[in-house]
Amino acid sequence: MWEYTDKVKDHFLHPRNVGEVENADGVGEVGSMACGDALRLTFKLDTDKRIKDARFKTFGCASAIASSSALTEIIKGRTLEEAEKITNKDIAEYLGGLPEAKMHCSVMGREALEEAIAYYRGTKREKKMLEGKIVCECFGVTEKEIRDAIKVNHLTTVEDVTNYTKAGGGCGKCQDDIKALIKQVFLEASEEAQKEHKHSPFDELTNIQKINRITEFLTNRIRPTLQRDGGDLELIDLDNNIVFIKLRGACAGCIGAASTMKDFIQKKINEELSERLRVREISE
C-alpha cells in the first residue's frame, strides 16, 4: 500500500479547482483513458496576463488527483513565464512528496501545463512536432519526454523512468532503448560540465586515483553525517566524471533522497573535489 503524506490525502479527498474554465485562454490535455491516467487543464488570464483561474479534470489515482489539484493552486497568480518554470519536482514537493512509483502523476501535471501554455501561444502543433519519436508504444511516451524526466529528476535506472513516465512498464520491449537514453543523457551532462567548469588538481588524477580520492572523501566527509541519522551510502562506480552512488540504511527510499543527493552530496563533492563531477543514485 502506498504511503501518502497528509497533504496528498487532503488534495485527494478535498481537491481544489475541479472543473473547467469557461472561455479558457489555455487548454492542455495529456495522457489517455487507455493508459489509466488522463488530465485536462484549463486556465484564464487576467488583464495583467497572470493566471487568475485554473481548473482541472482528471481520470486517475489519488496521486493524479492530488497532483492536479496542487498544480492549479501553484500556478494561480503567476505569469506564464513564471508558470513554465514549474517542474514536476515542484508539484511533488508542494505535496510533501509522492511515492516513487507515483511520480509520473506529477510529470503529467507539468506536461499538461506545457500543453496549455503552448495552446495559448498558438505553438501547440509545433511543440508536438518537436516531441521526437515514440519510444514506449504501450503508453505513447516520446524520446523527449523520457530525456526531460531523466534530466530534471536525475533518473538512473529503467525502473526510475517507469515510475516517472510509465515508459517501460508495459511489454518491456523499449527498456533497452531507455537504458541507452539514460547513458546518453549522462554523457551529455558530463561533457557539458567539462566545458563549463575549470580544471582542478583532482581532474589531473588517473581514474584509480580519482576513485580512491572519492572513496576517502565519502568516508570522511559524507558518511558520518548520514550515519548520524541512520543512513549510509556506497560508491558503486566512476564513469566519465559521473559518480554512481547507492544510498543505504535510512537513506534508501527516503522521501528526501533526491535532496540529499543534490543539495548535500553533489554540492560537497563539487566544492571540495571537482566542479566537473556529477553524482547519480542507482537503485540496483
The catalytic site residues sit at: 35, 105
In degrees, rounded to 5, the angle at the alpha carbon of residue 243 between the alpha carbons of residues 241 and 246 is 170
Cβ atoms 96, 5 nearer than 8 A: yes
Cell of 182: 539514460
Contacts of 77 by beta carbon, 8 Å cutoff, 6+ apart: 50, 51, 52
Q: Write out the H or E segment, with its range, that includes residue 177.
A: helix 175-196
Of 64, 75, 67, 107, nearest in space to 88 by CA: 107
Residue 277 to residue 270: CA distance in whole angstroms: 6
Residue 122's identity, in one-letter code, is G
